[in-house]
Amino acid sequence: MTHTLQDCRARDAADPLRPLRDLFVLPEGVVYLDGNSLGPLPKAVAARVARAVEHEWGQGLIRSWNTAGWYELPRRVGDRIGGWIGAAPGETVATDTTSINLYKVLAAALSIAAQDQPARKVVLSERSNFPTDLYIAQALCEDRGFQLRLLETAEIEAALAADTAVLMLTHVNYRTGAMHDMARLTALAHQHGALAVWDLAHSAGAVPVDLNAADADFAVGCGYKYFNGGPGSPAFAWVHPRHADRFRQPLAGWWSHAAPFEFTPDYRPASGIARYLCGTQPVLSMVALDAGLDAIDASRPLGGIQALRRKSLALTDCFIELVEQRCAGHGLSLVTPREHALRGSQVCLARAEGAYAIVQALIARGVIGDFRAPDILRFGCTPLYLGFEDVWNAVEHLRQVLDSGEWRRPEYNRANAVT
């Protein structure tokens, strides 16, 4: 399909989700294509956090744990997130980081495997999984006497066997945007007697997820991408009810105690998802995440996740087609799947030379994507605030950067700490 600027403007004018853009702070002259790494600031967040600082903390002081509902935030915000991932109330908790939550749930999964099927000693995952997931799994496997086996994506299904204890996968791959069939792979893992642990960092709030329908065992994800909770905002953990009370998670802090304010010296785990808490919660960050969720919740009357998904696919289709029309001959190759059922909400391009520098040149022009080693230019297409004209402009800048060779300038080839 051939796209023109006029066509893109017409699609924006007809977009029922277009009003959601006004809920965000979007700097003038910037096309933001990195919401899959850090969502932009929703306009309502600053006032909500200021109220928590000035009134709840400033005036309420410690009383606000009760009077402002601080104590209930992890479970209340967790339930809000749960509504976007197919969780029932009381199954999700907002807390800690994705890495810490993965440590908790994977440790619980290994404990279940060790008790129920002690001969199973293998955790299967993809070699291309997000590194923190692999690091956490490697450390736990070494500590618990398990083996972490890393495979290419196409090898996963055939590798499930009688020695598999846990299948640990990220639903949408961070480098490629490729999406797994969660229900099918979970069912296959269960057929082989294994548990399924899912990382939803690049899918929660972006693609339809139904953990209960998929019969998953454990899941984790973050709050600062598609939920717009701010840099380093609390993550979340979900545990299927059949597992929630079987084992205590290893970080048995006082917030996961059945009665934290009894202050007893012995640990007695809380029932249900509350046992996946640990220590005192970061209230200001939790408040920001709570307010950030208002922005995505505003999409519910407009069709919710199904409407977001339709627009996401239309945006990524448009991006792919424009790159192929306008940037041909520049050595770019598409690594994101074309098939809708296999695609998340991002477009990833590979280039053998200069991928990092090209991204830096685009950022200097106000087109903010990111780079993933060794050769990936990554562009997130978040439908809450991105429009089709934004996509057209982004690809036009990419064409100019490539045609002019400006990416070769020295300032674009100096590595930053964060890419």
Angular region, 416: left φ>0, alpha ψ -120 to 50, beta rest: beta
Angular region, 372: left φ>0, alpha ψ -120 to 50, beta rest: beta
pLDDT in tens, 281-320: 999 999 999 999 999 999 999 999 999 999 999 999 999 9
Domain shared by 269 and 378, yes or no? no
Residues with catalytic roles: 130, 199, 224-225, 378
pLDDT in tens, 175-221: 999 999 999 999 999 999 999 999 999 999 999 999 999 999 999 99
Q: Give the SS3 label for residue 87.
A: coil
Domain shared by 28 and 140, yes or no? no
Domain shared by 179 and 37, yes or no? no
Q: How many secondary structure helices (H) and strands (E) does the chain include? A: 14, 13
Q: Are 171 and 208 in contact (CB under 8 A)?
A: no
Which pair of tokens denotes residue 392?
A: 């057209």
Which pair of tokens denotes residue 308?
A: 């977001």
Which pair of tokens denotes residue 387?
A: 């429009």
Domain shared by 141 and 289, yes or no? yes
Write down which residue in 297, 323, 346 finishes a domain: 297
Q: Say what the pLDDT of residue 419 is.
A: 81
Q: Say what the pLDDT of residue 35 is.
A: 96
Within 10 angstroms of residue 50's Cβ, the number of other Cβ atoms is: 12
Partners of 236 in the beta sheet? 94, 221
Its pTM stands at: 0.96
Domain shared by 220 and 340, yes or no? no
Domain shared by 83 and 16, yes or no? no
Q: How far apart are CA 176 and CA 303, in angstroms?
A: 27
Please check whether residue 9 lies inside any domain of the structure.
Answer: yes
Domain around 14: 5-43+304-412
Select from 181, 57, 89, 168 the least CA-distant residue to 122. 168
Select from 204, 331, 333, 230 the least CA-distant residue to 285. 230
Is the previous residue joined to 374 through a cis bond, with omega within 30 degrees of 0?
A: yes
Q: Say what the pLDDT of residue 175 is.
A: 95
Select from 331, 315, 330, 329 the least CA-distant residue to 379. 315
Q: Are 215 and 190 in contact (CB under 8 A)?
A: yes
Give the containing element (helix H, strand E) for 293: helix 283-297
Beta strand 122-126 pairing with 164-170: parallel
Report, in this order, helix, strand and coil percent for the chain, each rounded to 5: 45, 15, 40
Write down which residue in 297, 323, 353 finishes a domain: 297
Domain shared by 205 and 249, yes or no? yes
Please check whether residue 246 lies inside any domain of the structure.
Answer: yes
Domain count, the chain: 2
Calculate the alpha carbon distances from 319 to 4, 15, 92, 334, 347 in Å: 12, 17, 34, 11, 7
Mean pLDDT for the chain? 97
Domain shared by 283 and 336, yes or no? no
Q: Say what the pLDDT of residue 25 is.
A: 97
Domain shared by 33 and 112, yes or no? no
Return the sign of the alpha-carbon dihedral for residues 107, 112, 117, 118.
positive
Write down which residue in 241, 267, 297 finishes a domain: 297
Report how far Cα 389 is from the mean position of its chain's Cα atoms.
25
Domain shared by 269 and 354, yes or no? no
Please check whether residue 80 lies inside any domain of the structure.
Answer: yes
Q: Helix 304-326 crosses helix 388-404 at what angle (to 10 degrees)?
A: 30
Please check whether residue 119 lies inside any domain of the structure.
Answer: yes
Q: Say what the pLDDT of residue 418 is.
A: 86
Domain shared by 197 and 132, yes or no? yes
Please check whether residue 211 lies inside any domain of the structure.
Answer: yes
Q: Are 211 and 242 in contact (CB under 8 A)?
A: no
Within 10 angstroms of residue 338's Cβ, the number of other Cβ atoms is: 10
Within 10 angstroms of residue 118's Cβ, the number of other Cβ atoms is: 9
Spans of the chain, pLDDT less than 70: none
Please check whether residue 49 lies inside any domain of the structure.
Answer: no
Tell me, what CATH number does 161's domain have? Answer: 3.40.640.10
Please check whether residue 162 lies inside any domain of the structure.
Answer: yes
Which residue pairs from 262-271 have beta carbons closer than 8 angstroms and sit at least 24 positions apart in sequence? Answer: 269/245, 271/244, 271/245
Select from 354, 37, 398, 39 the least CA-distant residue to 201. 37
Q: Say what the pLDDT of residue 46 is.
A: 98
Please check whether residue 54 lies inside any domain of the structure.
Answer: no
Q: How far apart are CA 224 and CA 353, in angstroms?
A: 31
Tell me, what CATH number does 318's domain have? Answer: 3.90.1150.10
Q: Say what the pLDDT of residue 248 is.
A: 83
Per the listing, tokens 């930053």 go with: 416
Which pair of tokens denotes residue 379?
A: 């562009």
Domain shared by 19 and 78, yes or no? no
